[in-house]
Amino acid sequence: MTQFSDLNLDPRVLQALTDAGYQTPTPIQAGAIPSALEGRDVLGIAQTGTGKTASFVLPMITRLAQGRARARMPRSLVLCPTRELAAQVAENFDKYTKHLKLTKALLIGGVSFKDQDALIDRGVDVLIATPGRLLDHFERGKLLLTGVQIMVVDEADRMLDMGFIPDIERIFSLTPFTRQTLFFSATMAPEIERITKTFLSNPAKVEVARAATTGENIAQGLVMFKPTRRETEGSEKRAVLRALIDAEGEACTNAIIFCNRKIDVDIVAKSLKKHGYNAEAIHGDLDQSQRTRTLEAFRDGKLRLLIASDVAARGLDIPAVSHVFNFDVPSHSEDYVHRIGRTGRAGRSGKALTICAPKDEKYLSAIEALVQKEIPRIENPLKDAPPREMREDRPRRERTERNERRPRRDREERRESHAPEPVATVEETVPVEEVRAPRPERAPRPERNRPEREVAERRPRSDAADDRIVGMGDDVPAFIRMSFAERRAG
């Protein structure tokens, strides 16, 4: 059997492997490391959990052991699709370079640009980054990629799913043509195959398992779930999840629960915590510091249940995950392979259970066609439970004396005691004579402009002015009522 000592690695790297307790390489490591040490491009295809990270980290640091980094010009570049995977690669780099004087920088979102710029200015041997943050630094003039000797693309199929392929192509164009390229993926979609033909030169293809296969050491199960009513589907589905967790008992030491949507991640996490489970959520909308604390708690065994979106489905190396629960059937069939690959790692046994609603059967058919086998069906643990138990999403209250059903007589007496008092009508409060009494007559309004009218009546009028002017009211000025003779005389 091949040992790490047979792979022509640097003695200091072998010492770090011995300190970590590693002696025998995995198939993907045994196939990829010799070609990478020769300087050839490598195309690695292997299912998740097979040790792809060490397949490029070990030969990369062996080749970089000699040489010196220059400011703003990293000597090697590792591209990862998510922050968590990039941080994990950085941890592996620290583990295997403990006896070497190599520097690194981690460029991911959620971290200050200033701190990252300070590392780049000093010069780094290994630059580990997500595509978006890397291009941000490049466009700000803080980074040059013309000195890259080795370029690694990890989880390339996940890059495709997340829409990073245009960014990957642009980054390839910014690096020297003479670089060495190490390309790793779990599946080979047509777009991934096109990129490998464009940017890899005569690569050594290392395929240790058929693309999109599940580990034989992972026991799989599928629960066909049919809700009683559409509006109660969510609560009934969460009840089935809790029943599956309880049925596993102590065998479920820790587990990752996958949901398709971020909102469902939060809802499931809150529901489990409400029922007394040790659970936390992780997805892309959370702050980076919170995501880091949650992952560390899960790795350290302080957290039992990790509810996650597919941000945690790729590349996270948590060796001792006993179970994986798919609360939702993934809409992309390849994601099923990566999800259940979080358990059964490093030769351990694991278990993956999936809940399938009628609307998800089309996704289930695509998954079974991809893995080329039928997922075993298991019985719904709440199949014989009454509908109320399945719809209940919070602990039921015990019946007490306060909410016990009371006799009918007591209820009637209580209703009468709380009945509103009758309101007296007008006829009951006021005598009829007072109500029907006629209203007093109003005094006549005084006439306006009475002095002027009296003056006008005392003045003599002509025959032509005998008739009073009609239509202008009592407010007509006196001079208008005078005859022409009176005006001439005046």
Say whether pLDDT at 194 is over 80. Answer: yes
**Distance between CA atoms of 323 and 131, rounded to whole angstroms?**
31
Bridge-based pairing of strands 323-326 and 255-258 is: parallel
Residue 10, in any domain of the structure? yes
For the stretch 107-156, pLDDT in tens is 998 888 888 999 899 899 999 999 999 999 999 999 999 999 999 999 88
**Strand order through the sheet with 350-356:** 279-282, 305-308, 255-258, 323-326, 350-356, 218-224, 377-378
Residue 114, in any domain of the structure? yes
Mean pLDDT over 358-385 rounds to 89
* Higher pLDDT among residues 217 and 242, named by residue: 242
pLDDT at residue 234, rounded to an integer: 92
Check whether residue 95 and residue 235 sit in a common domain.
no
* Higher pLDDT among residues 459 and 336, named by residue: 336
Percent of the chain with pLDDT over 70: 75
pLDDT at residue 192, rounded to an integer: 87
In this structure, are residues 132 and 55 in contact, taking their beta carbons and an 8 Å threshold? no
Check whether residue 165 and residue 19 sit in a common domain.
yes
Q: Which residue has the tokens 């990829």?
A: 32
Give Cβ neighbours of residue 389 (< 8 Å, ≥ 6 apart). 239, 382
Residue type, 465: A
Instruction: Please name every residue paired with 375 in a beta bridge, in sequence order, or none if there are none.
Output: none
Give Cβ neighbours of residue 447 (< 8 Å, ≥ 6 apart). 453, 474
pLDDT at residue 167, rounded to an integer: 94
Percent of the chain with pLDDT over 90: 49
Residue 473's Cβ-count burial label (10 Å; 0-12, 13-18, 19+) is exposed
pLDDT at residue 459, rounded to an integer: 52
**Distance between CA atoms of 383 and 389, rounded to whole angstroms?**
11
The range of the structural domain enclosing residue 28 comes to 4-207
Check whether residue 237 and residue 129 sit in a common domain.
no
Q: What is the DSSP string of 307-328?
A: EE-GGGSSS---TT--EEEESS
For 392, 403, 405, the CA distances from 400, given in Å and listed in that order, are 19, 6, 10
Check whether residue 103 and residue 64 sit in a common domain.
yes
In this structure, are residues 322 and 305 in contact, taking their beta carbons and an 8 Å threshold? no
pLDDT at residue 371, rounded to an integer: 86
In this structure, are residues 49 and 345 in contact, taking their beta carbons and an 8 Å threshold? yes
Check whether residue 47 and residue 73 sit in a common domain.
yes
pLDDT classification of 400: cutoffs 50, 70, 90: very low
**DSSP character at residue 113:** H
pLDDT classification of 315: cutoffs 50, 70, 90: low
Residue 313, in any domain of the structure? yes
**DSSP character at residue 441:** P
CA dihedral 6, 9, 10, 16 (to 10 degrees): -90
Check whether residue 201 and residue 262 sit in a common domain.
no
Residue 356, in any domain of the structure? yes
Structure tokens at 66: 């000699």
Check whether residue 233 and residue 160 sit in a common domain.
no
Residue 445, in any domain of the structure? no
Check whether residue 117 and residue 168 sit in a common domain.
yes
pLDDT classification of 440: cutoffs 50, 70, 90: low
For the stretch 218-270, pLDDT in tens is 999 999 999 988 889 999 999 999 999 999 999 999 999 999 998 999 999 99
Please tell me whether residue 466 adopts helix, strand or coil conformation: coil
In this structure, are residues 76 and 64 in contact, taking their beta carbons and an 8 Å threshold? yes
Count: domains in the chain: 2
Domain boundary among 156, 172, 207: 207
Residue 461, in any domain of the structure? no
Q: For position 27, which CATH number holds? A: 3.40.50.300
pLDDT classification of 348: cutoffs 50, 70, 90: confident
Structure tokens at 161: 């799913």
In this structure, are residues 60 and 36 in contact, taking their beta carbons and an 8 Å threshold? yes
Region for residue 363 given its phi and psi (left: phi exceeds 0; alpha: psi -120 to 50; beta: otherwise): alpha
**Distance between CA atoms of 296 and 84, rounded to whole angstroms?**
11
Instruction: Please name every residue paired with 356 in a beta bridge, in sequence order, or none if there are none.
Output: 224
Residue 373's Cβ-count burial label (10 Å; 0-12, 13-18, 19+) is exposed
Check whether residue 126 and residue 46 sit in a common domain.
yes
Domain boundary among 154, 173, 207: 207
Residue 170, in any domain of the structure? yes
Give Cβ neighbours of residue 189 (< 8 Å, ≥ 6 apart). 157, 160
Check whether residue 238 and residue 322 sit in a common domain.
yes
Q: What's the CA angle centered on 234, arms 231 and 238, to 5 degrees?
A: 150
Check whether residue 163 and residue 282 sit in a common domain.
no
Structure tokens at 404: 């016990």
pLDDT at residue 362, rounded to an integer: 94
Domain boundary among 183, 207, 231: 207
**DSSP character at residue 302:** S
| Helical residues (DSSP H) of 104-151, grouped into ranges | 113-122, 131-139
pLDDT classification of 214: cutoffs 50, 70, 90: confident
In this structure, are residues 307 and 271 in contact, taking their beta carbons and an 8 Å threshold? no
Residue 202, in any domain of the structure? yes
pLDDT at residue 12, rounded to an integer: 94
pLDDT classification of 435: cutoffs 50, 70, 90: very low
In this structure, are residues 206 and 45 in contact, taking their beta carbons and an 8 Å threshold? yes
**Distance between CA atoms of 457 and 460, rounded to whole angstroms?**
8
Check whether residue 284 and residue 373 sit in a common domain.
yes
Phi, psi dihedrals of residue 134, rounded to the nearest 5°? -60, -45
